[in-house]
């Protein structure tokens, strides 16, 4: 790294110390020496000489915004200096723009693990996952739900349950990564840098749905673009501004959704991603750990252990293999598993005893090592030829760990042993006379059909005619076990990425996530009822309120002790409305909801769903209704046809003639459900195939719900196509295939 002088790079050095790290702002550079001394170099000064800023603290991290700097000491103290135009220093309004570091006292005593800086915003992350933001907030880049600047560190409450592990900032947007590998973004979406398939700003953290399930391990924000790295698949995703080809796809257009970057063959696992203003970098580095594990530790396992101490290498290796970044990692873990399986019974018993006594976190690491490789080999077997021997060995070790876990009273949850890739081999469900591998369509159709059937046959929900939404029936109208089973069904649908729509209101998802239902939620469920309550709140005349002759009851049920004897007045009307809403959503259905919640948790043992906001969880389970039908034609592919063929032109003409309801029937015909998954129709890549039938006018269109494939015979005219097509989508349950 050097300072540019007369067209040539000039070496940047410190006289008496060696540089350990370097961070850049818009016009300044901050250096940290090996002695943890902090130096700053202002690029617009002549001569530009690094000047010491912090000498008496051991600084472990530095972050630069455009014109300000944050430093984190080993003791957990935060220091800031530079421009304070929008409060980005966190010093309140006391200091305008100090040139020397000032201690941010409001963060004192906080166990901080990371700091981050954007254009004019700043963040701090505690070791428990609490996030604090301050500074410029004109596009919502602080994630606080508004656009007001903050001059003091302010907790981002909406991230409290997200278990944040890292934060990265762009000029006016922010991205956070949680412990489960989920990515949330907020702030400016002008160039698509939030990854939500729109250019809208987001004032609160919103899940990047396109990355859900990928388990992101690194994030990096450039000025107007974002990078995400998935170590398991060694894939980098980019989105946002691409004007200067910073997205790595060779194009100069913007991207509103994360798309994979084509990496060079020499870029192997174990990379570090870096995003500059309008640049992106991938840094690779060979690891010494890999050499030690491969050349010394794994070969040593071939010797029979002489004593208990010799077996302790079996406890060290999982921790090393967990962080190992090498192409041979999977093979090394298989060799490790083979050594365990081949241990003599006495030595294996000793090793299992060591596992038994491991702390839960370390035991979980051992399980993760073999679980991840088992999943990887299952995927390889499914997608290409791979020897089953490797998978057998790692699964055998997982089985031994599972037995130890149960003998120890379940040190970790059973879900840690479940390999989701298995469901790719075994269909979740199968309809009579429909054979084939379930790629999602049959599962979806199963949940759609059963939801429809249960809604018609079981009186488990009360239907609100005005909103056409349903809620739990009051006590005594249905067995609680029924709600438990329905909860399992909904949980299973979420776990299997399927939509099941019982027409629930948002209030259900608020309750599942521990949020409080409000009068606004009642308005969604029962608009007239909610409007009546709002009129009670808005009435200025106390006599009018008392003339309503209301008491603290709902349909004859007391909503608080002595409610029949307590009239509603102007002074207690808010209490009445709150109690009314609480009765509808909580007290009157407490038993039913408790059973439903228990079943839901059982059906979806993976508790990542607790990370979502109510609106996000609702969209995942019940789908959405943003039907942008033009996306279907835009993304359609053809096999045996061309887009200009008469039969294809006729098909889209007939499709455009359909009513909204008929188009939903077509969606059910194609996917097994008339609701859309997260991402909408833009994610549905329909393929129209010519089945090459003799005398095609005799045949109806057929849909393969697993692959979004429409087998469309090459009809002789548009009238024949219209007749056959309308019949198929009207009676669509008889025309689906695997």
The average pLDDT across 716-738 equals: 75
Query: What angle do helix axes 388-407 and 329-341 make, rounded to 10 degrees?
Result: 60
> Which residue did the predictor score with more confidence, 73 or 675?
73
Q: Check residue 90 and give its pLDDT.
A: 92
Give the phi and the psi of residue 319 in degrees, each rounded to 5. Answer: -65, -40
The domain spanning residue 46 has which CATH number? Answer: 2.130.10.30
Confidence of residue 476 (pLDDT cuts 50, 70, 90): low
Q: What is the CA radius of gyration of the chain?
A: 30
Percentage, residues of the chain above pLDDT 90: 30
Instruction: Give me the domain span that covers residue 453.
Output: 441-622
Contact (Cβ atoms closer than 8 angstroms) between residue 507 and residue 525: yes
7 located within any domain: no
In degrees to the nearest 10, what's the CA dihedral of 696, 701, 702, 703? 140
pLDDT tens for each residue of 33-70: 877 788 888 877 666 677 888 878 888 899 999 999 99
Same domain for 596 and 699? no
293 located within any domain: no
407 located within any domain: yes
> Which residue did the predictor score with more confidence, 37 or 705?
37
Distance CA 292, CA 294 (A): 6
294 located within any domain: no
Distance CA 98, CA 262 (A): 44
Same domain for 153 and 179? no
- The DSSP result for 396-413, as a single string, is HHHHHHHHHHHHTT-SS-
pLDDT tens for each residue of 624-654: 656 677 878 888 889 889 999 999 999 999 9
266 located within any domain: yes
Q: Check residue 289 and give its pLDDT.
A: 59
Q: Check residue 607 and give its pLDDT.
A: 73
HSE-CB of 619 using CA atoms within 13 angstroms: 16
Q: Check residue 540 and give its pLDDT.
A: 77
2 located within any domain: no
Contact (Cβ atoms closer than 8 angstroms) between residue 150 and residue 133: yes
Same domain for 328 and 411? yes
In degrees to the nearest 10, what's the CA dihedral of 526, 530, 531, 532? 110
Pick the last residue of a domain from 160, 185, 220.
Answer: 160
Same domain for 68 and 180? no
Same domain for 679 and 604? no
The average pLDDT across 563-592 equals: 90
Same domain for 404 and 466? no
What is the overall mean pLDDT for the chain? 82
Distance CA 441, CA 704 (A): 8
Q: How many domains does the chain have?
A: 5
Same domain for 445 and 412? no
Same domain for 210 and 130? no
Q: Check residue 6 and give its pLDDT.
A: 46
250 located within any domain: yes
Longest dimension (CA), the chain: 92
Distance CA 40, CA 578 (A): 56
Q: Check residue 496 and give its pLDDT.
A: 75
- Lowest-pLDDT choice from 113-122, 297-306, 336-345, 628-637: 297-306
> Which residue did the predictor score with more confidence, 193 or 348?
193
The average pLDDT across 316-339 equals: 80
Confidence of residue 127 (pLDDT cuts 50, 70, 90): confident
Same domain for 641 and 662? yes
- Which residue's structure tokens are 């084509």? 262
Pick the last residue of a domain from 108, 137, 160.
Answer: 160
Same domain for 166 and 149? no
427 located within any domain: no
Pick the last residue of a domain from 243, 261, 285.
Answer: 285
The domain spanning residue 658 has which CATH number? Answer: 3.30.2410.10
Q: Is the pLDDT of residue 423 over 60?
A: no
Q: How many CB atoms lie within 10 A of CB 641?
A: 19
Same domain for 451 and 590? yes
Contact (Cβ atoms closer than 8 angstroms) between residue 727 and residue 700: yes
The average pLDDT across 578-584 equals: 93
Contact (Cβ atoms closer than 8 angstroms) between residue 370 and residue 398: yes
Q: How many CB atoms lie within 10 A of CB 472?
A: 24
Same domain for 168 and 275? yes
Quick one: tokens of 245? 């080809």
Distance CA 487, CA 207 (A): 24
- The DSSP result for 267-330, as a single string, is --SSEEEEE-SS-EEEEE---HHHHHIIIIIHHHTTSPP-SHHHHTHHHHHHHHHHH--STTHH
Contact (Cβ atoms closer than 8 angstroms) between residue 256 and residue 262: no
Q: Is the pLDDT of residue 5 over 90?
A: no
The answer to whether the pTM exceeds 0.75 is no
Q: Strand 59-64's sheet: what is its strand order?
A: 59-64, 68-73, 78-82, 102-103
The DSSP bridge partners found for residue 676 are 624
- Lowest-pLDDT choice from 63-67, 246-250, 402-406, 459-463: 459-463
The domain spanning residue 520 has which CATH number? Answer: 3.90.1750.10
Q: Is 225 exposed, middle or buried (0-12, 13-18, 19+ CB in 10 A)?
A: buried
Angle (nearest 5°) at CA 575 between 571 and 580: 135
- Lowest-pLDDT choice from 72-81, 503-512, 563-572, 610-619: 610-619
């Amino acid at each position: 790294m050097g300072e540019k002088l007369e067209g040539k790079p000039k070496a940047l050095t410190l006289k008496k110390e060696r540089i350990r790290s370097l961070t850049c702002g818009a016009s300044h550079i901050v250096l940290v020496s090996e002695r943890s001394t902090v130096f700053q170099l202002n690029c617009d000064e002549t001569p530009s000489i690094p000047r010491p800023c912090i000498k008496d603290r051991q600084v472990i991290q530095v972050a630069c915004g455009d014109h300000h700097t944050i430093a984190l000491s080993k003791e957990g103290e935060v220091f800031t200096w530079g421009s304070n135009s929008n409060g980005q220093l966190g010093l309140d309004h006391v200091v305008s723009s100090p040139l020397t570091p000032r201690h941010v006292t409001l963060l004192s005593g906080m166990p901080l693990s990371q700091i981050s800086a954007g254009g004019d915003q700043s963040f701090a992350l505690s070791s428990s996952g609490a996030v604090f933001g301050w500074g410029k907030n004109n596009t919502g880049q602080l994630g606080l739900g508004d656009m007001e600047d903050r001059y003091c560190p302010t907790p981002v409450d909406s991230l409290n349950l997200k278990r944040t592990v890292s934060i990265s900032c762009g000029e006016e947007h922010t991205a956070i990564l949680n412990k489960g590998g989920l990515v949330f973004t907020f702030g400016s979406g002008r160039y698509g840098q939030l990854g939500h398939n729109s250019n809208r700003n987001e004032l609160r953290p919103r899940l990047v749905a396109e990355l859900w399930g990928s388990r992101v391990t690194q994030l990096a924000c450039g000025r107007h673009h974002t990078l995400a790295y998935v170590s398991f698949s060694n894939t980098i995703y980019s989105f946002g501004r691409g004007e200067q080809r910073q997205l790595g796809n060779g194009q100069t257009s913007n991207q509103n959704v994360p798309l994979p970057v084509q990496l060079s063959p020499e870029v192997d696992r174990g990379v570090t991603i870096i995003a500059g203003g309008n640049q992106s970098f991938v840094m690779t580095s060979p690891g010494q750990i890999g050499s030690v594990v491969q050349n010394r530790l794994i070969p040593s396992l071939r010797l029979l252990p002489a004593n208990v101490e010799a077996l302790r290498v079996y406890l060290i290796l999982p921790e090393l293999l967990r962080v190992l970044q090498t192409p041979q990692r999977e093979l090394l873990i298989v060799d490790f598993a083979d050594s365990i399986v081949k241990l003599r019974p006495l030595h294996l018993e000793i090793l299992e005893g060591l596992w038994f006594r491991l702390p839960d976190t370390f035991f979980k690491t051992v399980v993760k090592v073999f679980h991840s490789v088992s999943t990887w080999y299952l995927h390889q077997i499914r997608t290409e030829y791979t020897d089953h021997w490797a998978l057998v060995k790692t699964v055998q070790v997982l089985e031994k760990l599972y037995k130890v876990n149960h003998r120890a009273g379940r040190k970790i949850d059973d879900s840690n042993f479940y390999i989701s890739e298995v469901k790719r081999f075994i269909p979740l469900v199968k309809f009579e006379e429909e054979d084939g591998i379930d790629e999602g369509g049959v599962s979806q159709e199963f949940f759609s059909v059963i939801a429809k059937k249960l809604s018609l046959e079981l009186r488990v929900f009360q239907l609100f005619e005005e909103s056409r939404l349903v809620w739990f029936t009051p006590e005594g109208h249905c067995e609680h076990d029924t709600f438990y089973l329905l909860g399992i069904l909904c949980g299973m649908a979420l776990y299997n990425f399927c939509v099941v729509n019982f027409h629930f209101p948002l209030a259900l998802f608020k309750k599942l996530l521990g949020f409080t239902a409000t009068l606004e939620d009642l308005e969604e469920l029962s608009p007239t009822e909610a409007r009546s309550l709002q009129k009670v709140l808005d009435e200025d005349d106390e006599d009018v309120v008392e003339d309503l002759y209301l008491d603290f009851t709902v349909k004859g049920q007391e909503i608080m002790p002595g409610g029949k004897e307590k009239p509603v007045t102007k002074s207690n009307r808010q209490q009445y409305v709150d109690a009314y809403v609480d009765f509808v959503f909580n007290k009157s259905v407490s038993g039913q909801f408790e059973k439903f919640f228990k079943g839901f948790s059982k059906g979806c043992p993976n508790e990542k769903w607790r990370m979502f906001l109510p609106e996000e969880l609702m969209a995942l389970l019940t789908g959405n209704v943003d039907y942008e039908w033009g996306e279907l034609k835009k993304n359609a592919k053809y096999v045996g046809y061309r887009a200009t063929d008469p039969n294809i032109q006729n098909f889209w003409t007939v499709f455009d003639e359909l009513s909204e309801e008929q188009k939903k029937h077509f969606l059910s015909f194609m996917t097994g459900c008339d609701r859309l998954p997260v991402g909408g129709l833009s994610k549905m890549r329909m393929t129209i195939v010519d089945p090459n039938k003799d005398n095609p006018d005799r045949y109806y269109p057929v849909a393969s719900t697993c692959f979004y494939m429409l087998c469309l015979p090459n009809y002789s005219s548009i009238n024949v196509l219209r007749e056959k097509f309308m019949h198929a989508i009207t009676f669509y349950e008889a025309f689906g295939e695997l």
